[in-house]
């Protein structure tokens, strides 16, 4: 199939584009290479997807551009059969400092894509949403009917985007699916995430740093599971018009996660604690029953196995990846 992946040099988008190219699909990636984190990671994602296309018999094209460019988006959407909209300005804390940028990209860019798709022969648009739309839990696990009261501008922007997708399905008949991701991690993840920080520090004999008291819990989702549920939507229309949680259906306290990494890599270290960070959610936990019912989604990697996989990848890529992690945390 002819597939467009916006944000296809990013973490989830890059892994998805690589997987689709390896399967022989013709993949076009649109990414602006925003230096929100080191663009070297994105360049490696492009290299990996290019190699995957060569081995899989498909085609791969990288287009440097921005989803805020409506004319460019219209051209690219017009050539695609299915669109995976992964492009976004990520970062809860970043959005607190500058709420305008996530609104321009996450809301305005999404509207550009949806408008372009109204006039194109598109089978489906799959949007990356976020667990940040839920905000403070009234109950756990979150199901898709849980109240949406985000606690950051980032969460507001992602909620607006997935609601626009729903409305475009209902009003214009556009086939859309929004996937609310829960804390995705794995190879080529952003270097300023907790797991990459814990692994880097422990491998260098330094104690992992937990922000807050560590009682916060997260539903960590391994990137391969996220890629698999996206791939299921290539031809499966049973979820059209729906909003679905994509998580691991399990949780772990941040303190326990730090201990897990520490015990794996440097058992003698003590955990350090620092002041909690503004707008971070206290708890996340996904009810994935709807995705299981409609798509047969079943997360295959729990956080303990996923951490081991990430540690193995980190060791193999330590020479280029670790300096990025150290730099990301030296600026925080």
Q: Domain check: are 164 and 175 in the same one?
A: yes
Interatomic CA distance for residues 22 and 57, integer angstroms: 7
- Work out whether the CA dihedral 27, 104, 93, 161 comes out positive or negative: negative
Is the domain of 141 the same as that of 211?
no
Measured distance CA(219)–CA(285) in Å, rounded? 5
Q: Is 280 helix (H, G, I), strand (E, B) or coil?
A: coil
pLDDT in tens, 127-137: 999 999 999 99
Q: CA 218, 279, 256 angle in degrees (round to 5)?
A: 25
Same-domain check for residues 15 and 148: yes
CA separation for the pair 284, 178 (Å, rounded): 18
Percent of the chain clearing pLDDT 90 (strictly above): 92
Structure tokens that stand for 72 in this block: 């460019």
Q: Which residues pair with 22 in a beta bridge?
A: none
pLDDT of residue 278 exceeding 70 = no
pLDDT, one tens digit per residue, over 188-236 is: 999 989 999 999 999 999 999 999 999 999 999 999 999 999 999 999 9
pLDDT band at 103 (very low <50, low <70, confident <90, very high): very high
pLDDT at 330 over 70: no
Q: Note whether residue 172 is domain-resident.
A: yes
Task: Supply the pLDDT for residue 61.
Answer: 98
* Mean per-residue pLDDT, 252-277: 94
Question: Do 54 and 148 fall within a single domain?
Answer: yes
Both 129 and 21 in one domain: the answer is: yes
- The answer to the question of residue 293 being in a domain is no
Q: Which of 253, 116, 243 is nearest to 194 (CA)?
A: 253
CB–CB of 292/246 below 8 Å?
Answer: no
Whether residues 242 and 307 fall in one domain: no
Give a yes or no: residue 141 inside a domain: yes
Residue whose C-alpha is closest to residue 266's, from 220, 320, 200? 200
Residue 296 domain-assigned?
A: no
| 80-96 pLDDT tens trace | 999 999 999 998 888 99
Token reading at 261 = 């990494």
User: Which string of DSSP letters, residue by residue, matches 103-159?
Assistant: IIIIIIHHHHHHHHHHTS--SEEEEEEEGGGTBS-SSSSB-TTS--B-SSHHHHHHH
Q: Compute the average pLDDT of residues 313-324.
A: 96
Q: What does the pLDDT read at residue 279? A: 61
Same domain, yes or no: 272 and 177:
no
Q: Are residues 55 and 204 in the same domain?
A: no
Residue at 118 is within a domain? yes
Determine contact, residues 103/154, Cβ cutoff 8 Å.
Answer: no
In angstroms, the CA 262 to CA 213 distance is 17
195 contact partners, CB below 8 Å, separation of at least 6: 185, 189, 220, 257, 261, 307, 310
The residue segments making up the domain with residue 24 are 2-182+223-246
Domain count, the chain: 2
Q: Is residue 294 part of a domain?
A: no
For residue 331, pLDDT beyond 70: no
Same domain, 40 and 72: yes
CATH number of residue 306's parent domain: 3.90.25.10
Region 165-176 average pLDDT: 97
Q: Which two tokens stand for residue 74?
A: 């219209």
Rg for the chain, CA atoms, rounded = 19
Query: Cβ distance 109 to 68 under 8 Å?
Result: yes
Q: Tell me, what CATH number does 136's domain have?
A: 3.40.50.720
What gap in Å lies between CA 287 and CA 279, rounded to an integer?
22
Q: Are 242 and 294 in contact (CB under 8 A)?
A: yes
Catalytic residue of the set 154, 222, 297, 314: 154
**154 in catalytic set:** yes
Residue 234 shares a structural domain with residue 99: yes
Is 54 part of any domain? Answer: yes
Position 22 scores a pLDDT of: 96
Q: Does 264 fall in a domain?
A: yes
Query: Is a pLDDT exceeding 80 seen at residue 7?
Result: yes
Q: Are residues 203 and 322 in the same domain?
A: yes
Same domain, 14 and 49: yes
């Amino acid at each position: 199939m002819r597939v467009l992946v916006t944000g296809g040099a990013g973490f989830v988008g890059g892994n998805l584009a690589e997987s689709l190219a390896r399967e022989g699909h013709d993949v076009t990636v649109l990414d602006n290479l925003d230096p929100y984190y080191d663009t070297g990671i994105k360049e490696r994602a492009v290299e990996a997807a290019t190699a995957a296309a060569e081995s899989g018999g498909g085609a791969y094209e990288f287009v440097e551009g921005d989803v805020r460019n409506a004319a460019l988006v219209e051209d690219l959407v017009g050539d695609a059969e299915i669109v995976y909209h992964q492009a976004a300005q990520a970062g809860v804390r970043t959005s607190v400092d500058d709420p305008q940028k996530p609104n321009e990209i996450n809301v305005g860019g999404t509207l550009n894509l949806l408008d372009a798709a109204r006039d194109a022969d598109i089978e489906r648009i799959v949007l990356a949403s976020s667990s940040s739309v839920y905000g403070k839990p009234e109950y756990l696990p979150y199901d898709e009917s849980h109240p949406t009261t985000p606690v950051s501008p980032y969460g507001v922007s992602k909620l607006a985007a997935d609601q626009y997708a729903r409305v475009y399905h209902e009003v214009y008949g556009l086939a859309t699916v929004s996937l609310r991701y829960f804390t995705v991690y794995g190879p080529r993840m952003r270097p300023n995430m907790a797991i990459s920080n814990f692994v880097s520090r422990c491998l260098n004999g330094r104690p992992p740093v937990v922000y807050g008291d560590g009682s916060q819990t997260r539903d960590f989702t391994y990137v391969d599971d996220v890629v698999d549920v996206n791939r299921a939507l290539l031809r499966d229309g049973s979820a059209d018009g729906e909003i679905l949680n994509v998580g691991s259906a399990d949780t772990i306290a941040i303190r326990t996660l730090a201990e897990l990494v520490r015990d794996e890599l440097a058992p003698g270290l003590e955990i350090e604690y620092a002041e909690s960070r503004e707008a971070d959610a206290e708890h996340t936990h996904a009810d994935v029953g709807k995705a299981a019912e409609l798509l047969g989604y079943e997360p295959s990697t729990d956080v303990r196995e996923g951490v081991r996989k990430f540690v193995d990848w980190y060791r193999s890529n330590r020479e280029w990846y670790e300096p990025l992690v150290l730099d990301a945390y030296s600026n925080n």
